[in-house]
A and B are shown apart, each in its own frame.
Chain A
Amino acid sequence: MVVGLIAADLRYNNLGRTRAVLDTLVAPIIWVADIPARLGQWQNTHIRTRARLVEDSARLQRENLLLQGRSLQMASLQAENTRLRGLLNSTTMLRSDVLVAELIGVSPDPMRHQLVLNKGASDGVYVGQPLIDADGLMGQVVEVGEVTSRVLLLTDLTHSVPVQVNRNGVRAIAEGTGSLDALEVQHISATTDIREGDLLVSSGLGGRFPVGYPIAEVVLVQRDPGQPFARVLARPSAALNRSRHVLLVFVKAAEDAAPASQVP
Protein backbone atom coordinates (compact mmCIF):
# COMPACT_ATOMS: atom_id res chain seq x y z
CA MET A 1 0.00 0.00 0.00
CA VAL A 2 2.77 2.41 0.96
CA VAL A 3 4.78 1.44 -2.09
CA GLY A 4 1.71 2.15 -4.17
CA LEU A 5 1.40 5.58 -2.62
CA ILE A 6 5.04 6.42 -3.24
CA ALA A 7 4.75 5.26 -6.82
CA ALA A 8 1.57 7.27 -7.35
CA ASP A 9 3.12 10.45 -6.01
CA LEU A 10 6.53 10.09 -7.59
CA ARG A 11 5.81 8.56 -10.95
CA TYR A 12 2.36 9.70 -11.89
CA ASN A 13 2.09 12.93 -9.95
CA ASN A 14 -1.66 12.54 -9.59
CA LEU A 15 -2.10 13.11 -5.90
CA GLY A 16 -2.35 16.87 -6.30
CA ARG A 17 -5.74 17.17 -4.68
CA THR A 18 -4.85 14.87 -1.80
CA ARG A 19 -1.69 16.86 -1.18
CA ALA A 20 -3.63 20.11 -1.22
CA VAL A 21 -6.07 18.76 1.37
CA LEU A 22 -3.25 17.40 3.55
CA ASP A 23 -1.39 20.69 3.28
CA THR A 24 -4.42 22.55 4.50
CA LEU A 25 -4.71 20.09 7.39
CA VAL A 26 -1.15 20.56 8.59
CA ALA A 27 -1.19 24.34 8.14
CA PRO A 28 -1.99 24.99 11.84
CA ILE A 29 1.01 22.91 12.94
CA ILE A 30 3.32 24.89 10.69
CA TRP A 31 1.76 28.11 11.93
CA VAL A 32 2.38 27.17 15.55
CA ALA A 33 5.92 25.98 14.83
CA ASP A 34 6.64 29.39 13.36
CA ILE A 35 5.80 31.25 16.59
CA PRO A 36 9.39 31.33 17.97
CA ALA A 37 10.66 32.82 14.72
CA ARG A 38 7.85 35.36 14.75
CA LEU A 39 8.66 36.31 18.33
CA GLY A 40 12.25 36.96 17.27
CA GLN A 41 10.95 39.11 14.44
CA TRP A 42 8.66 41.04 16.78
CA GLN A 43 11.50 41.64 19.18
CA ASN A 44 13.61 42.86 16.29
CA THR A 45 11.06 45.43 15.21
CA HIS A 46 9.69 46.56 18.57
CA ILE A 47 12.63 46.47 20.92
CA ARG A 48 15.39 48.59 19.46
CA THR A 49 17.44 51.46 20.62
CA ARG A 50 16.73 54.97 19.44
CA ALA A 51 20.15 55.17 17.83
CA ARG A 52 19.41 52.12 15.71
CA LEU A 53 16.11 53.60 14.60
CA VAL A 54 17.66 56.92 13.62
CA GLU A 55 20.40 55.12 11.75
CA ASP A 56 17.87 52.94 9.93
CA SER A 57 15.74 55.90 9.01
CA ALA A 58 18.74 57.75 7.60
CA ARG A 59 19.78 54.73 5.58
CA LEU A 60 16.30 54.22 4.19
CA GLN A 61 16.05 57.88 3.21
CA ARG A 62 19.33 57.64 1.36
CA GLU A 63 18.22 54.49 -0.40
CA ASN A 64 14.88 56.03 -1.30
CA LEU A 65 16.57 59.06 -2.82
CA LEU A 66 18.86 56.84 -4.83
CA LEU A 67 16.03 54.66 -6.12
CA GLN A 68 13.87 57.66 -6.97
CA GLY A 69 16.74 59.19 -8.86
CA ARG A 70 17.21 55.98 -10.80
CA SER A 71 13.53 55.62 -11.61
CA LEU A 72 13.24 59.19 -13.00
CA GLN A 73 14.20 58.02 -16.44
CA MET A 74 12.23 54.83 -16.16
CA ALA A 75 9.10 56.15 -17.87
CA SER A 76 10.86 57.53 -20.90
CA LEU A 77 13.07 54.46 -21.17
CA GLN A 78 10.07 52.19 -20.99
CA ALA A 79 8.29 54.16 -23.73
CA GLU A 80 11.39 53.98 -25.87
CA ASN A 81 11.70 50.26 -25.21
CA THR A 82 8.08 49.71 -26.27
CA ARG A 83 8.64 51.73 -29.45
CA LEU A 84 11.78 49.82 -30.36
CA ARG A 85 10.11 46.51 -29.65
CA GLY A 86 7.25 47.63 -31.86
CA LEU A 87 9.78 48.31 -34.61
CA LEU A 88 11.21 44.84 -34.16
CA ASN A 89 7.72 43.35 -34.32
CA SER A 90 8.10 41.57 -30.98
CA THR A 91 5.49 41.59 -28.27
CA THR A 92 5.63 44.20 -25.58
CA MET A 93 7.13 43.27 -22.24
CA LEU A 94 4.63 43.49 -19.46
CA ARG A 95 5.18 44.44 -15.94
CA SER A 96 3.82 41.60 -13.85
CA ASP A 97 1.76 41.83 -10.69
CA VAL A 98 3.22 40.70 -7.42
CA LEU A 99 1.84 39.55 -4.10
CA VAL A 100 3.80 39.93 -0.88
CA ALA A 101 3.97 36.71 1.11
CA GLU A 102 5.60 35.83 4.37
CA LEU A 103 7.72 32.80 5.08
CA ILE A 104 6.23 30.64 7.80
CA GLY A 105 8.19 27.43 7.51
CA VAL A 106 11.37 25.89 6.24
CA SER A 107 11.76 22.25 5.32
CA PRO A 108 13.29 20.36 8.28
CA ASP A 109 15.24 18.12 5.94
CA PRO A 110 18.51 19.84 4.97
CA MET A 111 18.47 18.07 1.59
CA ARG A 112 15.09 19.49 0.68
CA HIS A 113 15.16 23.18 -0.05
CA GLN A 114 11.55 24.08 0.44
CA LEU A 115 9.77 26.97 2.08
CA VAL A 116 6.21 27.33 3.28
CA LEU A 117 4.46 30.63 2.60
CA ASN A 118 1.42 32.10 4.28
CA LYS A 119 -0.49 32.55 1.02
CA GLY A 120 -2.46 29.80 -0.65
CA ALA A 121 -5.18 29.01 -3.16
CA SER A 122 -7.50 31.54 -1.54
CA ASP A 123 -5.06 34.31 -2.51
CA GLY A 124 -4.80 33.07 -6.08
CA VAL A 125 -1.46 31.32 -5.75
CA TYR A 126 -1.01 28.60 -8.38
CA VAL A 127 1.43 25.75 -8.95
CA GLY A 128 4.46 26.85 -10.97
CA GLN A 129 4.26 30.46 -9.84
CA PRO A 130 7.70 32.09 -9.60
CA LEU A 131 8.91 33.59 -6.35
CA ILE A 132 11.35 36.49 -6.03
CA ASP A 133 12.87 38.57 -3.30
CA ALA A 134 14.55 41.98 -3.49
CA ASP A 135 17.70 40.54 -5.07
CA GLY A 136 16.56 37.92 -7.52
CA LEU A 137 14.60 34.82 -8.34
CA MET A 138 14.14 32.37 -5.47
CA GLY A 139 12.16 29.45 -6.80
CA GLN A 140 8.71 28.26 -7.76
CA VAL A 141 5.53 27.12 -6.07
CA VAL A 142 5.13 23.34 -6.13
CA GLU A 143 2.12 22.76 -3.88
CA VAL A 144 -0.82 24.92 -3.02
CA GLY A 145 -2.98 24.42 0.05
CA GLU A 146 -5.97 26.55 0.98
CA VAL A 147 -4.01 29.06 3.09
CA THR A 148 -0.39 27.98 2.62
CA SER A 149 1.82 27.06 -0.29
CA ARG A 150 5.09 25.25 -0.64
CA VAL A 151 7.98 26.60 -2.66
CA LEU A 152 10.89 24.72 -4.19
CA LEU A 153 14.06 26.79 -4.11
CA LEU A 154 16.44 27.14 -7.06
CA THR A 155 19.13 25.31 -5.13
CA ASP A 156 17.17 22.11 -4.51
CA LEU A 157 18.78 19.08 -6.12
CA THR A 158 15.69 18.43 -8.21
CA HIS A 159 15.39 21.98 -9.55
CA SER A 160 16.72 23.45 -12.78
CA VAL A 161 16.14 26.83 -14.32
CA PRO A 162 16.87 28.08 -17.86
CA VAL A 163 19.26 31.04 -17.72
CA GLN A 164 21.25 33.27 -19.99
CA VAL A 165 24.37 35.29 -19.42
CA ASN A 166 23.38 38.92 -19.14
CA ARG A 167 26.54 40.12 -20.91
CA ASN A 168 26.22 38.20 -24.16
CA GLY A 169 23.05 36.14 -24.08
CA VAL A 170 24.63 32.69 -23.91
CA ARG A 171 21.88 30.26 -22.87
CA ALA A 172 22.30 27.48 -20.34
CA ILE A 173 20.57 25.52 -17.63
CA ALA A 174 21.38 26.14 -13.98
CA GLU A 175 20.81 23.19 -11.70
CA GLY A 176 20.51 23.15 -7.94
CA THR A 177 23.32 21.44 -6.06
CA GLY A 178 21.64 20.86 -2.71
CA SER A 179 23.81 23.56 -1.18
CA LEU A 180 22.20 26.92 -0.50
CA ASP A 181 24.98 29.01 -1.99
CA ALA A 182 25.76 27.26 -5.25
CA LEU A 183 24.10 26.51 -8.58
CA GLU A 184 25.83 24.46 -11.23
CA VAL A 185 25.53 25.61 -14.81
CA GLN A 186 25.33 22.51 -16.94
CA HIS A 187 26.66 21.72 -20.41
CA ILE A 188 28.74 24.80 -21.05
CA SER A 189 31.15 23.74 -23.75
CA ALA A 190 34.82 24.46 -23.10
CA THR A 191 34.97 27.28 -25.64
CA THR A 192 31.84 29.18 -24.55
CA ASP A 193 32.38 32.78 -23.52
CA ILE A 194 31.48 32.77 -19.84
CA ARG A 195 33.57 34.40 -17.14
CA GLU A 196 33.67 34.72 -13.40
CA GLY A 197 31.54 37.67 -12.35
CA ASP A 198 28.98 37.23 -15.14
CA LEU A 199 25.39 37.77 -14.12
CA LEU A 200 22.95 35.01 -15.05
CA VAL A 201 19.36 36.11 -15.63
CA SER A 202 16.29 34.01 -16.31
CA SER A 203 15.83 33.42 -20.03
CA GLY A 204 12.14 32.63 -19.84
CA LEU A 205 12.61 29.71 -22.23
CA GLY A 206 10.83 27.09 -20.14
CA GLY A 207 7.74 29.25 -20.11
CA ARG A 208 7.66 29.04 -16.37
CA PHE A 209 9.81 31.94 -15.18
CA PRO A 210 9.49 35.48 -16.48
CA VAL A 211 12.40 36.89 -18.48
CA GLY A 212 15.15 39.00 -17.02
CA TYR A 213 15.15 38.36 -13.29
CA PRO A 214 18.67 38.01 -11.87
CA ILE A 215 19.39 34.46 -10.80
CA ALA A 216 23.03 34.04 -9.93
CA GLU A 217 26.53 35.33 -10.36
CA VAL A 218 29.21 33.08 -11.82
CA VAL A 219 31.90 32.49 -9.22
CA LEU A 220 33.94 29.69 -10.71
CA VAL A 221 34.76 28.57 -14.24
CA GLN A 222 36.99 25.54 -14.62
CA ARG A 223 38.03 24.54 -18.08
CA ASP A 224 39.67 21.14 -18.24
CA PRO A 225 41.01 20.34 -21.73
CA GLY A 226 40.17 16.68 -21.21
CA GLN A 227 36.51 17.35 -20.58
CA PRO A 228 33.95 18.34 -23.22
CA PHE A 229 32.20 20.74 -20.83
CA ALA A 230 33.48 23.40 -18.46
CA ARG A 231 32.56 23.25 -14.81
CA VAL A 232 30.69 26.44 -13.92
CA LEU A 233 29.45 27.31 -10.45
CA ALA A 234 27.29 30.32 -9.63
CA ARG A 235 26.09 31.92 -6.42
CA PRO A 236 22.36 32.71 -6.25
CA SER A 237 21.55 36.42 -6.13
CA ALA A 238 18.51 36.04 -3.88
CA ALA A 239 18.99 35.79 -0.14
CA LEU A 240 17.67 32.24 -0.06
CA ASN A 241 18.15 31.63 3.65
CA ARG A 242 17.58 35.14 4.92
CA SER A 243 14.49 36.65 3.30
CA ARG A 244 11.36 36.52 5.38
CA HIS A 245 9.19 38.63 3.09
CA VAL A 246 9.06 37.44 -0.49
CA LEU A 247 7.13 38.32 -3.64
CA LEU A 248 4.98 35.96 -5.67
CA VAL A 249 4.90 37.03 -9.31
CA PHE A 250 1.72 36.59 -11.32
CA VAL A 251 2.98 35.72 -14.75
CA LYS A 252 -0.16 33.98 -15.90
CA ALA A 253 -2.40 36.95 -15.21
CA ALA A 254 -0.06 39.18 -17.17
CA GLU A 255 -0.08 36.79 -20.12
CA ASP A 256 -3.84 36.59 -20.13
CA ALA A 257 -4.04 40.33 -20.12
CA ALA A 258 -1.51 40.64 -22.91
CA PRO A 259 -3.78 40.66 -26.00
CA ALA A 260 -6.03 43.33 -24.53
CA SER A 261 -3.31 45.74 -23.55
CA GLN A 262 -1.16 45.44 -26.64
CA VAL A 263 -0.75 48.72 -28.46
CA PRO A 264 -0.34 48.52 -32.23
Chain B
Amino acid sequence: MNANNALVFSVMAGSFLLAALLAVVQIPEWLQWARPEWVALTLLYWCIALPHRIGIFTALLLGLLIDALEGAVLGQNAFSLTVLALCALLLYQRLRVFSLWQQCAVVFVVIGLHQLVGQWVQNLEGSGARSLLFLLPAVSSALLWPMMLQVLRSVRRYYRIS
Protein backbone atom coordinates (compact mmCIF):
# COMPACT_ATOMS: atom_id res chain seq x y z
CA MET B 1 0.00 0.00 0.00
CA ASN B 2 2.81 2.34 0.93
CA ALA B 3 4.76 1.69 -2.24
CA ASN B 4 1.56 2.24 -4.18
CA ASN B 5 1.12 5.63 -2.55
CA ALA B 6 4.62 6.65 -3.51
CA LEU B 7 3.94 5.59 -7.10
CA VAL B 8 0.71 7.57 -7.22
CA PHE B 9 2.47 10.60 -5.84
CA SER B 10 5.35 10.44 -8.28
CA VAL B 11 3.13 9.90 -11.32
CA MET B 12 0.94 12.83 -10.36
CA ALA B 13 3.87 15.06 -9.53
CA GLY B 14 5.42 14.12 -12.87
CA SER B 15 2.30 15.00 -14.81
CA PHE B 16 1.93 18.31 -12.98
CA LEU B 17 5.58 19.16 -13.59
CA LEU B 18 5.20 18.42 -17.28
CA ALA B 19 2.08 20.59 -17.39
CA ALA B 20 3.93 23.40 -15.61
CA LEU B 21 6.73 23.13 -18.17
CA LEU B 22 4.26 23.36 -21.02
CA ALA B 23 2.70 26.35 -19.29
CA VAL B 24 5.90 28.44 -19.44
CA VAL B 25 7.67 27.11 -22.52
CA GLN B 26 8.05 29.79 -25.19
CA ILE B 27 5.51 29.71 -28.00
CA PRO B 28 5.03 31.99 -31.02
CA GLU B 29 3.58 35.35 -30.17
CA TRP B 30 0.38 34.96 -32.17
CA LEU B 31 -0.43 31.81 -30.21
CA GLN B 32 0.15 33.37 -26.81
CA TRP B 33 -3.38 34.45 -26.11
CA ALA B 34 -4.66 30.95 -26.89
CA ARG B 35 -2.15 28.99 -24.80
CA PRO B 36 -4.12 26.11 -23.28
CA GLU B 37 -4.24 25.93 -19.51
CA TRP B 38 -2.20 22.76 -19.19
CA VAL B 39 -2.00 22.74 -15.42
CA ALA B 40 -5.71 23.37 -15.02
CA LEU B 41 -6.52 20.55 -17.46
CA THR B 42 -4.25 18.10 -15.65
CA LEU B 43 -5.70 19.06 -12.30
CA LEU B 44 -9.20 18.69 -13.69
CA TYR B 45 -8.46 15.18 -14.95
CA TRP B 46 -6.98 13.99 -11.67
CA CYS B 47 -9.87 15.55 -9.73
CA ILE B 48 -12.37 13.66 -11.85
CA ALA B 49 -10.44 10.40 -11.89
CA LEU B 50 -9.31 10.27 -8.27
CA PRO B 51 -11.46 12.64 -6.24
CA HIS B 52 -10.50 10.84 -3.03
CA ARG B 53 -6.83 11.66 -3.54
CA ILE B 54 -6.74 15.05 -5.23
CA GLY B 55 -8.64 17.98 -3.94
CA ILE B 56 -8.64 21.57 -2.93
CA PHE B 57 -5.45 21.42 -0.93
CA THR B 58 -3.47 20.01 -3.86
CA ALA B 59 -4.94 22.74 -6.02
CA LEU B 60 -3.79 25.35 -3.51
CA LEU B 61 -0.18 24.12 -3.40
CA LEU B 62 -0.07 23.69 -7.15
CA GLY B 63 -1.45 27.19 -7.63
CA LEU B 64 1.27 28.69 -5.46
CA LEU B 65 3.89 26.93 -7.56
CA ILE B 66 2.36 28.28 -10.75
CA ASP B 67 2.16 31.76 -9.25
CA ALA B 68 5.87 31.71 -8.58
CA LEU B 69 6.50 30.31 -12.04
CA GLU B 70 4.48 32.93 -13.86
CA GLY B 71 5.39 35.82 -11.62
CA ALA B 72 1.74 36.41 -10.86
CA VAL B 73 0.39 37.86 -7.64
CA LEU B 74 0.99 35.20 -5.01
CA GLY B 75 -2.40 33.54 -4.69
CA GLN B 76 -3.89 34.29 -8.10
CA ASN B 77 -3.49 30.83 -9.55
CA ALA B 78 -3.93 29.30 -6.12
CA PHE B 79 -7.34 30.95 -5.98
CA SER B 80 -8.44 30.08 -9.49
CA LEU B 81 -7.21 26.48 -9.30
CA THR B 82 -8.98 26.06 -5.96
CA VAL B 83 -12.22 27.20 -7.58
CA LEU B 84 -11.54 24.80 -10.44
CA ALA B 85 -10.93 21.89 -8.09
CA LEU B 86 -14.09 22.73 -6.17
CA CYS B 87 -16.13 22.69 -9.39
CA ALA B 88 -14.55 19.41 -10.43
CA LEU B 89 -15.27 17.80 -7.08
CA LEU B 90 -18.90 18.89 -7.29
CA LEU B 91 -19.27 17.73 -10.89
CA TYR B 92 -17.16 14.58 -11.16
CA GLN B 93 -19.99 12.07 -10.82
CA ARG B 94 -21.90 13.68 -13.65
CA LEU B 95 -18.81 14.29 -15.78
CA ARG B 96 -17.89 10.60 -15.77
CA VAL B 97 -21.10 9.59 -17.51
CA PHE B 98 -21.16 12.44 -20.00
CA SER B 99 -20.29 11.89 -23.63
CA LEU B 100 -16.98 13.32 -24.79
CA TRP B 101 -18.54 16.41 -26.37
CA GLN B 102 -20.60 17.16 -23.31
CA GLN B 103 -17.43 16.87 -21.28
CA CYS B 104 -15.72 19.36 -23.59
CA ALA B 105 -18.54 21.82 -23.05
CA VAL B 106 -18.22 21.48 -19.28
CA VAL B 107 -14.44 21.88 -19.52
CA PHE B 108 -14.99 25.05 -21.51
CA VAL B 109 -17.22 26.50 -18.81
CA VAL B 110 -15.00 25.43 -15.92
CA ILE B 111 -11.75 26.68 -17.49
CA GLY B 112 -13.55 29.87 -18.44
CA LEU B 113 -14.50 30.30 -14.80
CA HIS B 114 -10.87 29.68 -13.86
CA GLN B 115 -9.79 32.39 -16.32
CA LEU B 116 -12.40 34.80 -14.98
CA VAL B 117 -11.21 34.38 -11.41
CA GLY B 118 -7.62 34.90 -12.56
CA GLN B 119 -8.61 38.04 -14.45
CA TRP B 120 -10.45 39.34 -11.45
CA VAL B 121 -7.32 39.12 -9.33
CA GLN B 122 -5.22 40.65 -12.11
CA ASN B 123 -7.62 43.54 -12.34
CA LEU B 124 -7.13 44.15 -8.62
CA GLU B 125 -3.45 44.47 -9.43
CA GLY B 126 -4.17 46.74 -12.38
CA SER B 127 -2.82 44.50 -15.12
CA GLY B 128 -6.00 42.90 -16.35
CA ALA B 129 -6.71 42.25 -20.01
CA ARG B 130 -8.44 45.01 -21.97
CA SER B 131 -10.43 42.65 -24.17
CA LEU B 132 -12.21 39.33 -23.93
CA LEU B 133 -9.20 37.60 -25.51
CA PHE B 134 -8.29 36.20 -22.11
CA LEU B 135 -11.13 33.68 -22.56
CA LEU B 136 -9.42 32.10 -25.58
CA PRO B 137 -7.54 29.54 -23.44
CA ALA B 138 -10.93 28.17 -22.40
CA VAL B 139 -11.66 27.36 -26.05
CA SER B 140 -8.27 25.84 -26.75
CA SER B 141 -8.36 23.86 -23.50
CA ALA B 142 -11.80 22.48 -24.30
CA LEU B 143 -10.56 21.42 -27.75
CA LEU B 144 -7.57 19.71 -26.17
CA TRP B 145 -9.60 17.91 -23.53
CA PRO B 146 -10.17 14.67 -25.54
CA MET B 147 -6.43 14.29 -26.12
CA MET B 148 -5.64 15.12 -22.50
CA LEU B 149 -8.21 12.58 -21.34
CA GLN B 150 -6.75 9.83 -23.53
CA VAL B 151 -3.14 10.48 -22.54
CA LEU B 152 -3.72 10.80 -18.82
CA ARG B 153 -6.14 7.87 -18.77
CA SER B 154 -3.62 5.61 -20.47
CA VAL B 155 -0.96 6.77 -18.02
CA ARG B 156 -3.28 6.03 -15.13
CA ARG B 157 -4.17 2.58 -16.48
CA TYR B 158 -0.55 1.78 -17.26
CA TYR B 159 0.49 2.42 -13.69
CA ARG B 160 -2.80 0.97 -12.36
CA ILE B 161 -3.43 3.98 -10.18
CA SER B 162 -6.72 4.24 -8.39
Contact = CB atoms under 8 A, between A and B. Distances in A.
A101 B69 CA distance: 19
Contacts of A30: 24, 69
Interface string A6-40: 10111000010011001101100110111011000
A159 to B, nearest CB: 9
A112 B123 CA distance: 12
Contact of A109 (B21, B65, B72, B130): B72
Contacts of A8: 74
Given A2-B82, A6-B124, A112 B71 contact: yes
B137 to A, nearest CB: 10
A36 B26 CA distance: 8
B90 to A, nearest CB: 18
A147 to B, nearest CB: 14
B126 A6 contact: no
A114 B67 CA distance: 13
A112 B132 CA distance: 16
A130 interface: no
A158 B75 contact: no
Contacts of B23: 108
Given A2-B75, A5-B74, A30-B69, A108 B24 contact: yes
Contacts, number: 94
Interface string B111-139: 00000000001101111111000100000
Interface string A176-217: 001000000000000000000000000000000000000000
Interface size classification for chain B: 35 or more
A3 B80 CA distance: 11
Given A25-B68, A111-B129, A158-B126, A6 B24 contact: no
Contacts of B21: 29, 32-33
Interface stretch (B6-14, B29-37, B101-109, B143-151): B29-37
Contacts of B124: 6, 10
A106 B74 contact: no
A157 interface: yes
A112 B127 contact: yes
B54 interface: no
Interface string A126-165: 0000000000000000110000001000001110000000
Q: Which of A10, A25, A114 has the most CB of B within 10 A?
A: A10
Contact of A29 (B24, B74, B121): B24
A157 B129 CA distance: 10
Given A156-B127, A158-B125, A37 B26 contact: yes
Nearest to B83: A2
A120 interface: no
Interface in B47-104: 60, 63-65, 67-76, 78-79, 82
Given A36-B26, A108-B32, 10 more contacts: A3-B79, A6-B124, A25-B65, A26-B68, A33-B26, A105-B26, A112-B70, A158-B127, A178-B127, A178-B130
Interface of A: 1-3, 5-6, 8-10, 15, 18-19, 22-23, 25-26, 29-30, 32-34, 36-37, 105-112, 114, 116, 142-143, 150, 156-158, 178, 241
22 contacts: A2-B63, A2-B78, A6-B74, A6-B79, A9-B73, A19-B74, A22-B64, A22-B67, A26-B68, A26-B69, A30-B24, A36-B25, A37-B26, A107-B71, A108-B35, A111-B129, A111-B134, A112-B72, A142-B71, A143-B71, A158-B125, A158-B126
Interface of B: 17, 20-21, 23-26, 29, 32-33, 35, 60, 63-65, 67-76, 78-79, 82, 121-122, 124-130, 134
